[in-house]
Amino acid sequence: MNATLVLGAASVVASIGALWWGFSGPRMARHPLDAGEQLRSPVGDLRAMALQRAAHERSAQPLLTRIGRLAQRFTPERRLAALEQRLLLAGTPAGWTVERVLAAKVLLAGAAAVIGVLRFVAKPDGLGVVLAAALVAFGWFGPDLLLRHRAEKRQEIVRRTLADAIDQLTVTVQAGLGLDTAIARVSRRTRGPLGDELARVGQDIRAGMSRASALSAMAERVQVSELRQVVLALAQAERLGVPVAKTLEVQSQELRIKRRQHAEEQAMKLPVKILFPTVLCIMPALFIVVLGPAAMSIVDGLSAW
């Protein structure tokens, strides 16, 4: 194999590893400063404080931030808004911002381009050009696909846990608690994305936002039709003076019906999904096992004849 191709591939793999190391979350300093020393020296030695930071914070992160800002400058506003919305739907993963996502797209696409060029140099043909284009496209759109997958998974979790959370809200409201207090209590008992969103609703209400506005903001962040329907029903009940407990009970029943219908729909799709693996993987092997000996016997008989 060409030594240039091997060296280039090793460099690209090492760059991807460095990229992952740079994008990983913040790490604790190896030698944190003593609290008493910090109190004695309010300003402190900036160089010593900088050296206390992890290596990836001092080297990789500034480079990634600079690349992300440069890519953000040349990205259209519509694409930036779509990327921000995708990050919001994905739950805003810790440490991932628009700049970091753009930096990841640029670096992955660049690494893929280097691999494609090295492949074309080693063996110039049409397949190399197609492979290079496919690798660059995968490197550029890979973070988008990852964010979309996380957003869909998060929405599915919210959709599954919504009915149980509404049941808990119904019970707590029927017990005499106000809706704001009930939301705060249910947020502490509900795990996952829905619990985090309910906790944020409670924070928004305590910060001075109206309940309807806080619930509407939650529906916009999650983008789940069932949750949006519950928010609209609560807003209408508050506007018309309908008992909140009765509204929550009706919504809980409808959510359970929709969840059962969704499960039945997924079950109906299962035979169609199984058909292609059965035809492409199982049936050829079965034909070989069943018809193989007969075909060999027929070939032997014809050759003897």
What does the block give as tokens for 41? 């020296």
Q: pLDDT digits over 222-281, tens only?
A: 988 889 999 999 988 888 888 888 899 899 888 888 888 888 888 888 888 888 888 888
pLDDT at res. 31: 40
Instruction: Judge whether 102 and 70 are in contact, CB under 8 Å.
Output: no
Calculate mean pLDDT across residues 48-68.
63
φ/ψ of 18, rounded to 5, equals: -65, -35
> Comparing C-alpha atoms, which of 118, 159, 138 is closest to residue 6?
118
Instruction: Judge whether 214 and 234 are in contact, CB under 8 Å.
Output: no
* Domain ranges (residues) in the chain: 3-24+45-124, 156-259
Mean of the per-residue pLDDT values for the chain?
A: 78
What does the block give as tokens for 9? 């591939």
Question: Which residue is it, tokens 């988008």?
Answer: 144
Q: Is 195 helix (H, G, I), strand (E, B) or coil?
A: helix
pLDDT at res. 186: 92
Q: pLDDT digits over 162-198, tens only?
A: 989 999 999 999 888 888 899 999 999 888 899 999 9
Q: Above 80 in pLDDT, residue 45?
A: no
Q: Above 50 in pLDDT, residue 35?
A: no
Instruction: Judge whether 214 and 201 are in contact, CB under 8 Å.
Output: yes
For the chain, give the percent of residues with pLDDT over 90: 15
What does the block give as tokens for 180? 């704001």
C-alpha 94: how far from chain center: 11
| Cβ neighbours for 144, distance < 8 A, ≥ 6 positions apart | 83, 86, 105
pLDDT at res. 232: 92
Calculate mean pLDDT across residues 104-121.
83
Residue 95: which region, alpha, beta or left (left: phi > 0; alpha: psi -120 to 50)?
left
For the chain, give the percent of residues with pLDDT over 70: 78
Computed on alpha carbons and rounded to an integer, the radius of gyration of the chain in Å comes to 29
pLDDT at res. 79: 82
What does the block give as tokens for 230? 């519950």
* 46-55, 167-176, 208-217, 241-250, range with the lowest pLDDT: 46-55
Q: Which of 85-99, 151-165, 274-288 has the highest average model confidence (pLDDT)?
A: 151-165
Fold of 156-259: Receptor-associated Protein (1.20.81)
Q: Above 50 in pLDDT, residue 57?
A: yes
pLDDT at res. 39: 42
Q: Which residue has the higher pLDDT, 15 or 103?
A: 103
Q: Above 70 in pLDDT, residue 5?
A: no
